[in-house]
Amino acid sequence: MAPRYQENDAYILGVTLHEAKPRVTDKRLEEMVYDTAKEALDAVGINRRALDHVTIAACDELDGRSISSMLLAAPAGAYLKDEIKATDSGLTGLCLEATRIRSGRFHLGLLVSWNKSSIAPFEDVMRMRCEPFYTRPIGLNMSITDGLFAAAMQGADEAQASKVAASYGQAAAKNPRGVASDPVAAGAIAASPYVSTPLREGHRPPVTDGAVAMVVVSGAWLNDHPDATPMARLSGIGWSLESYQLGADRLASMQGLKTAFGDAMEDAGLSNAGDLDVIEIEAQTAFHDIATRQALALPADQTVSPSGGPFAQNPYFCAGLISAAEAVLQVAGQAGPVQAGRVKTAAAIGFHGFAHQGNVTAIFEEIPA
Amino acid sequence: MSPQQVAVIGTGQTVFKKHHDDKTYAELVQDATLAALADAKMTPDEIDAVVFSMAPTEFAGIHDIEKWSVDSIFGAGKPLMRVHTGGATGGSALHAGYTHVASGLFRNVLVVGADRVAETPDAQHILNLIWDRFYEFDFALNTVTMTALSTQRQMARYGTTEEQFAQVVVRARANALKNPNAHLKGKITIGDVMNSPAVAWPYKLFDCCPRSSGGAAMVLTTLDGAREKCANPAFVNGIGATSSTVFQGDKTGPKADVEYADLAELEIAGKEAFAQAGITNPMKEIQVAELYDPFSSMQFPQLESLGFCGRGEAPALSDAGAFDLGSDLTVSPSGGSLCTNPIGVTGLVRAIEAANQVMQRAGDMQVSGVRNAVATAIGGSAQFYTASVFGADHL
């Protein structure tokens, strides 16, 4: 009899999200990471000693410590384990994890990402991401580059962005995994202060504290453990880094998004966005969300970010991986009040770097009964 | 299914020195990229994905340094990610490049990076910031004092002397004379090392690596790609890595899982890499070891952890010339990290030098008859380890 699972395919066995809060005050970051990693393993009955690798995704600068994995790798489960860290984003960590599982060298892994956004001077960190000769001296930061991006967009205006942000606020209010907050009306968002014209404060989800862990296994491991029930197959993955330049052509083209999305779709054997039942977008502004929909020519009835996306919770560095976790929950039929019916295929789209320089897409597929 | 074979078909490095005043970081990393592409007989368009090796970024003072560099390395529009395991970053970048190819997702992958450690006026201040804010910041813990503590423990356990560590420096500096890219090189004596200024007992200045700047790059491909492009590729036949606790004290007690003085985590990583590569007797089957040894005391425990000899035996073997050029095992013919330490790519440089030996492209450093070579990298509080085995024959 043929094995049920493709040996080198990657499957999500379990997903755990740390409780979302604007500011976690009763735990050190190490404790947040430990609690999340342990809960992920306990939930699927895996002993940490059984892991053959750990992949982490984190940012030294946002963690407030150089080589932050020195203190955080072990709480993430990587004590005397093969461990590696991606620095671009939580969702990039999933890309690295996918290469590890699909290489055939690794079979049972834990992927952990986090961001205690409240402890880092966010925009100071972003300013230090600038090269020192031209962009740093003029004070460039995330707010300004997001504003530049919003200004470069074709076919989106402030009013539209305000409506999108308001709709996500309403969706987020239903998500039990989000930060409990009352939705804000579009009018109030439209009246919120400018951050960087035309971007207003209400167009952006506030950053929060959080962490996420996924247990990822190979098909070979599943064939050897027939009692294990995966939540989803990671059927497609794609990532792309755009030029560093902030010219309008780069900002408006969304080419990096199209490349990453196209690669992931091809990897998953899908041909058009309509094949996806749900798309979770880690949009750091409402303008990013509108631009993503436009660039991918998403159908008007496409279900996008039923979780509320980053408006539900936004631990900035790992927000994309949280979008992936929400997509996995949708495929597994475990998204609770934000479940979008039966979901056979779901995608997560994430960004990193200034003005979506970095782009990642992950596609998840349901496990046939 | 067996993993897809992965091969090194091109490498490139810049000269390493304290400062490259005439180049920006992005230009340095471009120089390394161009050298590796030329060595691989490839154009930039043939590269499918990039793994960037650089950490911590505080040395160069630019946080998302790979995102600034993307255009300079022809990476715009391609999959690119940066990896980070402290000083082991270069070894981990190689491993990430390996899985990029072995996964079947990509055919040709560029692993590249650069560092400018001396951009910061005091690297050891940066390296104090890696410790715990509440318990460790305030006493002078950095990578020098940290490894000095493990060195003292090594001396107590095995009777290793300062002169035996000094001999490692003498050999490294002499080997580096043949390395056109090495930062420090020269004919020195044990007396020169012993008489250099004290840093942190038992370290003298010459026991410690320099702060280096420069870039390094490597091109990885599939078995088919290697056959098309390269007569003597170096196959990545084994990769192993281990991450341990940050707490040094936890590696010293009677209940410790690993012994601090022994760098014993490398034993785990080495065993995995050797098992994959089919290496059962390292001393007979491996001809070159490129070790991550920014301090003179870090060679002996690594050689012992990798199984080249028993615990406590490496110092006497070193005295007898067992690790010299032309011996059965040549250790760091490039001069190693003691002579050149651009931290964000040091592990990658070790891998490049090991692969070059297997590819017979090591120039004046070439050791004759190299069929297998091993490269290591170490990071954090001597807690992140990688071991990588390169072979002239694929598995």
Query: What is the interface pTM, i.e. ipTM, of the complex?
Result: 0.98
Please judge whether A241 and B61 are an interchain contact, meaning their C-beta atoms are less than 8 angstroms apart.
Answer: no
Mutate to test the interface with B, among A53, A55, A81, A82 (most CBs of B within 10 A): A82
CA distances from A362 to A85, A128, A308, A329, B164 (A): 18, 29, 18, 14, 53
Q: β-strands A199-200, A194-196: how paired?
A: antiparallel
**How far apart (Å, rounded) are the C-alpha atoms in residues B118 and B214?**
11
Contacts of B132 in chain A (CB under 8 A): 71
Average pLDDT over residues A268-276: 95
Residue of B nearest to A256 (CA): B77
Q: Model confidence over B23-70: pLDDT tens digits?
A: 999 999 999 999 999 999 999 999 999 999 999 998 888 998 999 999
Q: Model confidence over A37-51: pLDDT tens digits?
A: 999 999 999 999 999
Residue of B nearest to A254 (CA): B77
Mutate to test the interface with A, among B5, B28, B74, B81 (most CBs of A within 10 A): B81
**How far apart (Å, rounded) are the C-alpha atoms in residues A89 and A359?**
10
Q: B292 phi and psi, to 5 degrees?
A: -80, 95
Q: Establish if A123 touches chain B: CB-CB under 8 angstroms.
A: no
Q: Model confidence over B308-355: pLDDT tens digits?
A: 999 999 999 999 999 999 899 999 999 999 999 999 999 999 999 999
Q: Give the pLDDT score at B130.
A: 85
**How far apart (Å, rounded) are the C-alpha atoms in residues B282 and B387?**
13
Contacts of A264 in chain B (CB under 8 A): none
From A201's Cα to the closest Cα of chain B, the distance in A is: 25
Q: Give the range among A143-152, A350-359, B57-66, B186-195 with minimum mean pLDDT.
A: B57-66
Which segments of chain A does DSSP mark as H helices, in order? Answer: 29-43, 60-63, 69-72, 90-102, 122-127, 142-152, 158-173, 186-190, 219-224, 248-253, 255-268, 286-295, 319-331
Between helix A90-102 and helix A319-331 the angle, nearest 10°, is 60
Instruction: Quote the mean pLDDT of chain A.
Output: 96
Residue of A nearest to B79 (CA): A240
Choose the closest CB to A71 out of B70, B104, B246. Answer: B246
Whether B173 and B324 have beta carbons less than 8 Å apart is answered as no
Q: Establish if A280 touches chain B: CB-CB under 8 angstroms.
A: no
Give the residue among B121, B29, B73 at the shortest CA–CA distance from B344. Answer: B29
Whether A57 and A243 have beta carbons less than 8 Å apart is answered as no
Please state, as a whole number, how many other Cβ atoms lie within 10 Å of the Cβ of residue A253: 15
Instruction: Quote the mean pLDDT of chain B.
Output: 96
Confidence class of residue A178 from pLDDT cuts 50, 70 and 90?
A: very high
Q: Model confidence over B324-334: pLDDT tens digits?
A: 998 999 999 99
Which residues make Cβ contacts (< 8 Å) with residue A59, sequence separation at least 6? A68, A87, A115, A125, A317
Mutate to test the interface with A, among B243, B268, B343 (most CBs of A within 10 A): B243
Percent of chain B at pLDDT above 70? 100
Helix (H) or strand (E) holding B373, with range, is strand B372-379
Contacts of A125 in chain B (CB under 8 A): 63
> Would you tell me which residues 41-80 of chain A have a C-beta closer than 8 angstroms to some C-beta of chain B?
54, 60-61, 65-67, 69-71, 73-74, 78-80
* Residue B371 exposed, middle or buried by CB count within 10 Å (0-12, 13-18, 19+): middle
**How far apart (Å, rounded) are the C-alpha atoms in residues B272 and A317?**
32
Whether B333 and B325 have beta carbons less than 8 Å apart is answered as yes
Contacts of B380 in chain A (CB under 8 A): 67, 69-70, 73
**How far apart (Å, rounded) are the C-alpha atoms in residues A173 and A20?**
13
Please state, as a whole number, how many other Cβ atoms lie within 10 Å of the Cβ of residue A149: 25
Q: Model confidence over B84-124: pLDDT tens digits?
A: 999 999 999 999 999 999 999 999 999 999 999 998 888 88
Choose the closest CB to B79 out of A61, A83, A239. Answer: A239
Residue for token pair 């005091």:
B122
From B196's Cα to the closest Cα of chain A, the distance in A is: 30
Please judge whether B85 and A357 are an interchain contact, meaning their C-beta atoms are less than 8 angstroms apart.
Answer: no
Query: Which residue type does B144 have?
Result: V
Choose the closest CB to B76 out of A128, A131, A243. Answer: A243
Checking if the pLDDT of A197 tops 70, the result is yes
The alpha carbon torsion through A250, A251, A253, A256 (nearest 10 deg) reads 80
Residues A71-82 as b/e (b if ≥16 CB within 10 A, e otherwise) read bbbbbbbbbbbb
CA distances from A313 to A23, A178, A181, A204, A323 (A): 11, 5, 10, 12, 10
Identify the sign of the CA torsion B268, B318, B388, B186: positive
Checking if the pLDDT of A291 tops 80, the result is yes
Please judge whether A69 and B126 are an interchain contact, meaning their C-beta atoms are less than 8 angstroms apart.
Answer: no
Residue of B nearest to A79 (CA): B244
Whether A60 and B89 have beta carbons less than 8 Å apart is answered as no
Whether B4 and B222 have beta carbons less than 8 Å apart is answered as yes
**How far apart (Å, rounded) are the C-alpha atoms in residues A29 and A119?**
9
Q: Model confidence over B242-288: pLDDT tens digits?
A: 999 999 999 999 999 999 999 999 999 999 999 999 999 999 999 99
Q: Model confidence over B177-224: pLDDT tens digits?
A: 999 999 999 999 999 999 999 999 999 999 999 999 999 999 999 999
Q: Establish if A102 touches chain B: CB-CB under 8 angstroms.
A: yes
Please judge whether B105 and A267 are an interchain contact, meaning their C-beta atoms are less than 8 angstroms apart.
Answer: yes
Choose the closest CB to B380 out of A70, A125, A244. Answer: A70
Contacts of B381 in chain A (CB under 8 A): 70
Residue of B nearest to A58 (CA): B84
Which residues make Cβ contacts (< 8 Å) with residue A270, sequence separation at least 6? A236, A276, A345, A363
From A22's Cα to the closest Cα of chain B, the distance in A is: 23
Average pLDDT over residues B155-174: 98
Please judge whether B79 and A95 are an interchain contact, meaning their C-beta atoms are less than 8 angstroms apart.
Answer: yes
Please judge whether B243 and A73 are an interchain contact, meaning their C-beta atoms are less than 8 angstroms apart.
Answer: yes
SS3 A190: helix
DSSP classification of residue B276 = H
**How far apart (Å, rounded) are the C-alpha atoms in residues A314 and A264?**
24
Please state, as a whole number, how many other Cβ atoms lie within 10 Å of the Cβ of residue B312: 17
Q: Give the pLDDT score at B122.
A: 82
Which residues make Cβ contacts (< 8 Å) with residue A369, sequence separation at least 6? none
Whether A28 and A239 have beta carbons less than 8 Å apart is answered as no
Confidence class of residue B132 from pLDDT cuts 50, 70 and 90?
A: confident
Q: Give the range among A325-334, B126-135, B302-311, B329-338 with minimum mean pLDDT.
A: B126-135
Q: Model confidence over A78-111: pLDDT tens digits?
A: 999 999 999 999 999 999 999 999 999 999 999 9
Contacts of A237 in chain B (CB under 8 A): 105
Checking if the pLDDT of B137 tops 80, the result is no
Q: β-strands A232-241, A10-17: how paired?
A: antiparallel
Please judge whether B83 and A85 are an interchain contact, meaning their C-beta atoms are less than 8 angstroms apart.
Answer: yes
Mutate to test the interface with B, among A79, A105, A221 (most CBs of B within 10 A): A105
Checking if the pLDDT of B1 tops 70, the result is no
Average pLDDT over residues B376-385: 96
Please judge whether B99 and A100 are an interchain contact, meaning their C-beta atoms are less than 8 angstroms apart.
Answer: yes
Average pLDDT over residues A250-263: 96
Model's pTM, two decimal places? 0.98
Q: Give the pLDDT score at A361.
A: 98
Choose the closest CB to B71 out of A78, A244, A255. Answer: A244
